[in-house]
Amino acid sequence: MPEPRPNTDPGELDGGRSDDGAGPEDGAVAGTGFGGSMDLAADEGRTLERDPEHDGAEPAGRPRSLWSDAWRDLRRNPVFVVSALLILFLVLISVWPTLLTSGDPLDCDLAKAQQGSQPGHPFGFNAQGCDVYTRTVYGARTSVTVGVCATLGVALLGSVLGGLAGFFSGIWDALLSRLTDVFFAIPVVLGGLVLLSVVTSNTVWPVIGFMVLLGWPQISRIARGSVITARQHDYVQAARALGASSPRMLLRHIAPNAVAPVIVVATIALGTYIALEATLSFLGVGLRPPTVSWGIDISSASPYIRNAPHMLLWPAGALAITVLAFIMLGDAVRDALDPKLR
Amino acid sequence: MLLEVRDLRVEFTTREGVAKAVNGVSYEVAEGETLAVLGESGSGKSVTAQAIMGILDVPPGRITGGEILFQGRDLLRLKEEERRGIRGAEMAMIFQDALSSLNPVLTVGDQLGEMFVVHRGMSKKDARARAVELMDRVRIPAAAQRVRDYPHQFSGGMRQRIMIAMALALRPALIIADEPTTALDVTVQAQVMDLLAELQREYRMGLILITHDLGVVADVADRIAVMYAGRIVETAPVHDLYKAPAHPYTRGLLDSIPRLDHKGRELYAIKGLPPSLTAVPPGCPFHPRCPMAQDVCRTDVPPLYAVEPGGAAGLATGEGRGSACHFWRDCLEGTGSR
């Protein structure tokens, strides 16, 4: 899921802090030692209030970690709130499209082809006489699936390969860097036309696989640079001087300090993958009917743009809003995670 | 002897050529002894320490010779896995800047506890209890509450205390402190040095104190090794060295300490700059900056002469003093011209 991702990280940190458990008791003991029932009440209050409001209850001006700072910034950022709500909505309707429509996107009546808005069919009908509203709702599922799966795949593959290259450097780093250069040299649309035109499968997986194949070098480069930066920090040297092993240094000391740029780029990339799926479907090499996709609908509606523009505008509008929401979210997350912008 | 470094040589491959960062350094640290390693930036004092700890970046660094005997074992012959077991448990290091040496995304309790989890296989809960004990031990107020705070929530002095606590967690036999007080206020410096010295006495650890602050050295060190351009130029018990330096470089360092009774006078400075390690001058590396330099200094590399009294026998046992200057006698008597 794209949306909860930036939230879970600070959440995990806070969670880690709270389930240590010793804290509230310590506070209560110290407080009662001071004497008086007021103290006890105050400590009760503090115990009950512990996280997530815990941060707010602390003395003002006490800085928190990068993640909880970022989460506080995000909650106050209207761009984040709007885009997060939009994405939440999209995720909801892609999981349960029946919340918004009782129709079947493949239930078409040629007699109603290209007709405009009618009661019960607010967006009208497309060239095949299918309900545009239902198809637009169901199209969200494809777009969100492709976007989320491609982003997860790209982020995992890219950050593992890039992270290892950055950490171990040397010959593997050199090889991997040249390999990313090779992949960068492949034009995405041309690559899609060549590679996907030979695929016969009707599912979303070839498209996702193609995006992962061409997308990982971008994340890999960022993860590599980010790990190299983090590796040079004194605390990594210090951890090494105190006997930490390589996996421990990488997972516990480097990764949490290097993951922020990867999250930012992946969130922004999610929007572009959704747009790319539509592009490939438009060109006829992405998804194919009977899969319901905004790209397919845009493609099939484009010849009729002059006499039945509604067939094009609704899926295109939905696509534009979705892509915008993910890119806005990425922007907000980047602003929150970049300490220099604070 | 706890630690013996013998004729250690470390090189770095750079674009400008091979930099001989450490060029035949030997020193010894006994149990409970404090050795101060003194020198300018680039004199090789930190690189020597990294080589001892085994945290030298390889490449570009490379150990080309010598041996490091720790409790009788030659560390350079051990496998990486064995060295990792020694790091942290038997020898530990304190870094200069405690803020950047602590991981910003982990609580100090997690980082202190990590020592016990990694080396002793303790459970997280036990490790946390030990972390609180350690924080108490280095006198951090309200340790039980602060154990779950992040490094940036502590002051500079407190952070350095936490670093000290981490280094001392497993009671190592040897501590290397790389400029532990440079990043601190003068008042806090004294507190942190006192704490370190106290814990060292209590645990009878060997301490290598890397510094360029002569003031810190005088209070806590037993012996001093002065490094210049990757070599030891003088080694002596601390009071002998302050009383009468046997190397013109040491004398230059002592003369460049600001002193109240010299108020109003121009502060002495050693002229020139330390040599580039890729192009160390032939002969004595200090000769271009030396007020006493003669022709022989430009051609012959001075060995580490045994300085009287004590002589060669004293130098061999680590009690005496040595000076890598052809004219150490003149220097000792103060007859060298400036």
Q: What percent of chain B has pLDDT over 70?
A: 95
Question: Quick one: pLDDT at residue A65?
Answer: 62
Q: Is B145 on the interface with A (CB under 8 A)?
A: yes
User: Which chain B residues touch A233 with a CB distance below 8 Å?
Assistant: 100
Question: If contacts are CB pairs under 8 Å, which of residues 104-143 in chain B contact chain A?
Answer: 104-107, 114-115, 118-119, 128
Burial class (CB in 10 A: 0-12, 13-18, 19+), B202: exposed
Per residue in B80-135, pLDDT (tens digit) is 888 888 888 888 888 887 778 888 888 888 888 888 888 888 888 888 888 888 88
Per residue in B199-256, pLDDT (tens digit) is 888 888 899 999 877 877 887 888 889 998 888 888 888 888 888 888 888 888 888 8
Question: Quick one: pLDDT at residue A340?
Answer: 59
* Angstroms from A42 CA to nearest CA on chain B: 17
Question: If contacts are CB pairs under 8 Å, which of residues 182-211 in chain A contact chain B?
Answer: none
Contact A62 B153 (CB under 8 A): yes
Is B65 strand, coil or helix? strand
Question: Quick one: pLDDT at residue B80?
Answer: 82
User: If you measure CA to CA, which chain A residue comes closest to B58?
Assistant: A170
User: Which chain B residues touch A244 with a CB distance below 8 Å?
Assistant: 84, 88, 114, 118
User: Which chain A residues touch B105 with a CB distance below 8 Å?
Assistant: 13, 65-67, 256-257
Q: Is B249 on the interface with A (CB under 8 A)?
A: no
Question: Which CATH architecture is the domain A77-341 placed in?
Answer: Orthogonal Bundle (1.10)
User: Which chain A residues touch B145 with a CB distance below 8 Å?
Assistant: 23, 26-27, 30
- Report the sign of the C-alpha dihedral through residues B284, B287, B293, B299, in that order: positive
Structure tokens at B211: 């510094």
Q: Which DSSP category does B237 fall into?
A: E
Q: What is the maximum alpha-carbon separation in chain A? A: 84
* Angstroms from B321 CA to nearest CA on chain A: 31
User: If you measure CA to CA, which chain B residue comes closest to A65?
Assistant: B105
Please report how the helices A132-168 and A205-231 are oriented relative to each other, as an axis angle in degrees rounded to 10: 40
How many CA atoms, within 13 angstroms, populate the side-chain half-sphere of residue B12?
A: 19
Contact B84 A27 (CB under 8 A): no
* Angstroms from A30 CA to nearest CA on chain B: 10
* Angstroms from A18 CA to nearest CA on chain B: 10
Per residue in B174-187, pLDDT (tens digit) is 999 888 887 778 78
From A26, A65, A234, residue closest to B144, measured CB to CB: A26
Please report how the helices B124-137 and B156-168 are oriented relative to each other, as an axis angle in degrees rounded to 10: 120
Question: Quick one: pLDDT at residue B312?
Answer: 64
- Per-residue pLDDT band at A314 (split at 50, 70, 90): confident
Is B300 strand, coil or helix? coil
From B84, B95, B107, residue closest to A234, measured CB to CB: B95
* Angstroms from B317 CA to nearest CA on chain A: 30
Question: Quick one: pLDDT at residue A12?
Answer: 39
Q: Is B166 on the interface with A (CB under 8 A)?
A: yes
From B87, B107, B128, residue closest to A242, measured CB to CB: B87
Q: What percent of chain A has pLDDT over 90?
A: 6
Contact B53 A241 (CB under 8 A): yes
Burial class (CB in 10 A: 0-12, 13-18, 19+), B80: exposed
* Cα–Cα distance list, A83 to A24, A135, A294, A325, B132 (Å): 36, 23, 20, 5, 43
From B84, B105, B150, residue closest to A245, measured CB to CB: B84
From A20, A67, A242, residue closest to B88, measured CB to CB: A242
User: Which chain B residues touch A27 with a CB distance below 8 Å?
Assistant: 145
Q: Is B53 on the interface with A (CB under 8 A)?
A: yes
Q: What is the spatial distance between Cα A333 and Cα A261, in angstroms, rounded to a whole number?
A: 10
Contact B104 A252 (CB under 8 A): no
Question: If contacts are CB pairs under 8 Å, which of residues 40-69 in chain A contact chain B?
Answer: 62-67
Question: Quick one: pLDDT at residue A154?
Answer: 93
Per residue in A211-259, pLDDT (tens digit) is 898 888 889 999 999 998 888 888 888 888 887 888 888 888 888 888 8
Q: Is B188 on the interface with A (CB under 8 A)?
A: no
* Cα–Cα distance list, B236 to A157, A254, A286, B28 (Å): 57, 42, 78, 12
Contact A235 B118 (CB under 8 A): no
Choice between A173 and B308, residue whose per-residue pLDDT is larger: A173
Q: Is the peptide bond between B275 and the residue preceding it cis, with omega within 30 degrees of 0?
A: no
Residue B1 predicted with pLDDT over 60: yes
Contact B328, B246 (CB under 8 A): yes
From A63, A235, A244, residue closest to B118, measured CB to CB: A244
Contact A336, A77 (CB under 8 A): yes
> What's the order of all strands across the beta sheet hosting B305-307?
B91-94, B174-178, B206-211, B34-38, B223-228, B231-237, B321-323, B305-307
Alpha helices in chain B (DSSP H): 45-53, 80-86, 98-101, 108-120, 124-137, 143-146, 156-168, 186-203, 214-220, 238-243, 248-255, 295-299, 311-317, 328-333
pTM: 0.70
Q: What is the spatial distance between Cα B275 and Cα A159, in angstroms, rounded to a whole number?
A: 42
Extents of the domains making up chain A? 5-71, 77-341
Which domains are present in chain B?
A: 3-221 (3.40.50.300), 227-333 (no CATH)
Say if the ipTM goes beyond 0.90.
Answer: no
Q: What is the spatial distance between Cα B89 and Cα A209, in angstroms, rounded to a whole number?
A: 47
Question: Quick one: pLDDT at residue A155?
Answer: 92
Contact B102 A238 (CB under 8 A): yes
Question: Quick one: pLDDT at residue B335?
Answer: 54
User: If you measure CA to CA, which chain B residue comes closest to A28?
Assistant: B145
Question: Per residue in A209-231, is it b (16+ CB within 10 Å) or e — as a string?
Answer: bbbbbbbbbbbbbbbbebbbebb
Q: Which DSSP category does A130 fall into?
A: -
- What is chain A's Cα-based Rg? 25
User: Which chain A residues touch B107 with a CB distance below 8 Å?
Assistant: 17
Structure tokens at B162: 């936490």
- Token look-up 């990590």 returns B114
Contact A257 B100 (CB under 8 A): no
From A26, A27, A65, residue closest to B105, measured CB to CB: A65
- Token look-up 């922020």 returns A260
Per residue in B11-66, pLDDT (tens digit) is 888 888 888 888 888 888 888 888 999 888 888 888 898 888 888 877 788 888 88
Structure tokens at A170: 């040397």
Question: Quick one: pLDDT at residue A66?
Answer: 67
Q: Is A26 on the interface with B (CB under 8 A)?
A: yes
Burial class (CB in 10 A: 0-12, 13-18, 19+), A135: buried
Nearest alpha carbon to residue B275 among B110, B39, B54, B26: B39
Q: Is A12 on the interface with B (CB under 8 A)?
A: no
Q: Give the mean pLDDT of B3-8.
A: 88
Per residue in A61-102, pLDDT (tens digit) is 444 566 777 788 888 888 889 999 998 998 888 888 887 777
